[in-house]
Amino acid sequence: MSANVDTIRRERASILGQLPAWSWFGIWAYGILLINGSILLNDSDTYWHIITGKWILDHNALPRVDIHSFTRAGEPWISSSWLAQVLYAEAYELAGWAGPVILATLSIATTFALLTFLLGRRIPVTYAVLTAFAAFVLSVGHFLARPHALALPVMLAWASGLLSASEKREAPSFWLLPLLALWANLHGGFVFGLALVAPFAIDALWNADQSQRRPLALRWIVFGLTALTACCATPYGWESILASRKILDLGELLHTIYEWMPVNFSSFSPFEACLIVLIGGGLFCGVKLSPPRILLVLGLLHMALSHVRNIEIFALLIPLVVLAPVASQFGLHGTQLARTALPVATAATLAAILGVSTWAHTANTRFLLAASQSPAAAVDVLKDRNPGRVLNDLPFGGYLISRGVPVFIDGRAELYGEQFEMAYFRALQLKDVNVFLDLLKTYDIDAVLLTPATPAVTLLDHLDGWERVYTDEHAVLHLRKAK
């Protein structure tokens, strides 16, 4: 018996010994996120993404008009994240809320394993792991079971392919284009991937000899045009590009949505710490970058400062952009361990171990969306009363959709538009009481479901014709009195 145990231990040690650093980091990221899986469900948009995916599967078609609200019912709307929504819906059907958590966790862990692998080819593995860990910490605030999480490894692979071509002073391989097409079906952020072609093309031209620049520029132009075509390789065609642009045209509204807000430095944050370290380290060590790389760094920094959600893009791509110059300037080299591929047998064994561990953990863990965004008891009362039209607070939109209640508003800002949503926010905050009263009348509202802190709650308590029928720490429900 002891001989068998010793054999098993030696085999296990052999398997673990074959794992390169990038795989260890991926395993660590997967474990950390799975154990804390509920943080991935801290967004009510996850509800309507899954419901949309179910609708696509049930109807074997893609939505072209709004299917979730009564304020925009029938108006043109396309789901540019349809593939991610279908994947989340399938995952939910298979494993409940554990399904989307596992799917998002696997994608995020793959992203950071890939980042560690790419860094480890150029710099010592210790530096690669530390850099990947810093990127993980900066990005953790946007780790959610939403379509963008499934697009992260695609974005990183696409950017790495462009960077590699740039450094080789050649045009990217057309084999990269399926990545962009996949990205275009997963998430609207693919437009950023298309925009990356230009700066990397400029970097390639800067690195090339004078005699090579003209033919190289032509090859990059051809690649850029084919990349644009790849972006249209979706069921919606070129409409996907137009739909993604609508987000950036929301003007003032973007400043009311947290992930689209600019970075706030009023309190110290990991992002500020990172910037201080990067600036201080660059000044002390005398880091030198070419003008195209400087423009790339400044462009990514501008994106991160403009919108909180772009911090993860900054964290993932900045290491790649500065990697080659820094490694060359300071004589850094990747280790053989970082370049080692994962043997098939080891990969299969590792997958089996992770699969069993995942099953064991999720079988004894209950994943739920935050109660502050899932007012189950209030909606139970609401459905019992069977009102007509419901004015809901924005955080409740996704949950109401999941319960089959047509919503006044939800997280699809591009559908509702700047004017509608700003009027909505001003009404609920009672910036103008008459605007709120007009809203109730114009949309023939029969029920109002708001968070307790919303100023309109107090007004409804004193408004003739309305009565409070339910209250808890997360939601307040008012109904119009029967005449």
Q: What is the pLDDT of residues 87-110, one digit of tens each?
A: 999 999 999 999 999 999 999 999
Q: Which of 236, 310, 239 is nearest to 83 (CA)?
A: 236
Over residues 194-217, the mean pLDDT reads 93
DSSP 174-209: GGGHHHHHHHHHH-TTHHHHHHTHHHHHHHHHHHS-
For residues 177 and 110, give the distance between their C-alpha atoms in angstroms, rounded to a whole number.
Answer: 20
The H or E element containing residue 347 is: helix 344-363
Token reading at 300: 């990514």
Q: Determine the pLDDT at residue 18.
A: 66
pLDDT digits (tens, 9 = 90+) for 224-283: 999 999 999 999 998 888 887 777 677 777 777 778 888 989 889 999 999 999 999 889
Token reading at 411: 């997280």
Q: At 278, which amino acid appears?
A: L
Q: In the block, which residue shows the tokens 């349809």? A: 82
For residues 81 and 183, give the distance between their C-alpha atoms in angstroms, rounded to a whole number.
Answer: 9
Over residues 176-190, the mean pLDDT reads 96
**pLDDT beyond 70 at 179:** yes
SS3 448: strand
**Per-residue buried b or exposed e for 433-451, using 16+ beta carbons within 10 Å of the residue's own CB:** eeebeebbeeeebbbbbbb
Q: In the block, which residue shows the tokens 């009195």? A: 481
For residues 368 and 413, give the distance between their C-alpha atoms in angstroms, rounded to a whole number.
Answer: 25
Q: In the block, which residue shows the tokens 């809901």? A: 392
Q: In the block, which residue shows the tokens 């920094």? A: 301
The conformation of residue 303, written as its DSSP 8-state character, comes to H
Q: At 286, which amino acid appears?
A: G
Q: Determine the pLDDT at residue 106.
A: 96
Confidence of residue 481 (pLDDT cuts 50, 70, 90): confident
How many CA atoms, within 13 angstroms, populate the side-chain half-sphere of residue 2? Answer: 0
- Residue 469's φ and ψ, nearest 5 degrees, are -115, -10
**pLDDT beyond 70 at 429:** yes
Alpha helix ranges (H) inside 18-121? 21-35, 45-59, 82-95, 98-120
Token reading at 150: 């499934």
- Identify whether the C-beta of residue 248 lies closer than 8 Å to the C-beta of residue 303: no
Q: Which range, of 219-228, 253-262, 449-458, averages the lowest pLDDT?
A: 253-262
Q: Determine the pLDDT at residue 5.
A: 44
Q: Which of 153, 141, 159 is nearest to 106 (CA)?
A: 153
Over residues 176-182, the mean pLDDT reads 97
Confidence of residue 366 (pLDDT cuts 50, 70, 90): confident
- Identify whether the C-beta of residue 127 lies closer than 8 Å to the C-beta of residue 119: yes
C-alpha pair distances (Å), 313 with each of 16, 151, 377, 431? 32, 11, 38, 36
C-alpha pair distances (Å), 378 with each of 97, 392, 439? 21, 12, 22
The conformation of residue 142, written as its DSSP 8-state character, comes to G
**pLDDT beyond 50 at 339:** no
For residues 274 and 252, give the distance between their C-alpha atoms in angstroms, rounded to a whole number.
Answer: 28
Distance of CA 58 to the CA centre of its chain: 25
**Strand spans (E) along 193-323:** none
Beta bridge partners of 76: 65
Q: Which of 193, 23, 28 is nearest to 114 (CA)?
A: 23
Domain boundaries, the chain: 17-349, 373-480
Q: Determine the pLDDT at residue 382.
A: 95
For residues 393 and 407, give the distance between their C-alpha atoms in angstroms, rounded to a whole number.
Answer: 10
**pLDDT beyond 50 at 112:** yes
Token reading at 16: 């673990």
For residues 440 and 447, give the distance between their C-alpha atoms in angstroms, rounded to a whole number.
Answer: 9
C-alpha pair distances (Å), 161 with each of 61, 155, 180, 209? 33, 10, 11, 21
Confidence of residue 4 (pLDDT cuts 50, 70, 90): very low
Token reading at 193: 């991937």
Radius of gyration of the chain from its Cα atoms, rounded to whole angstroms? 25
Q: Determine the pLDDT at residue 252.
A: 75
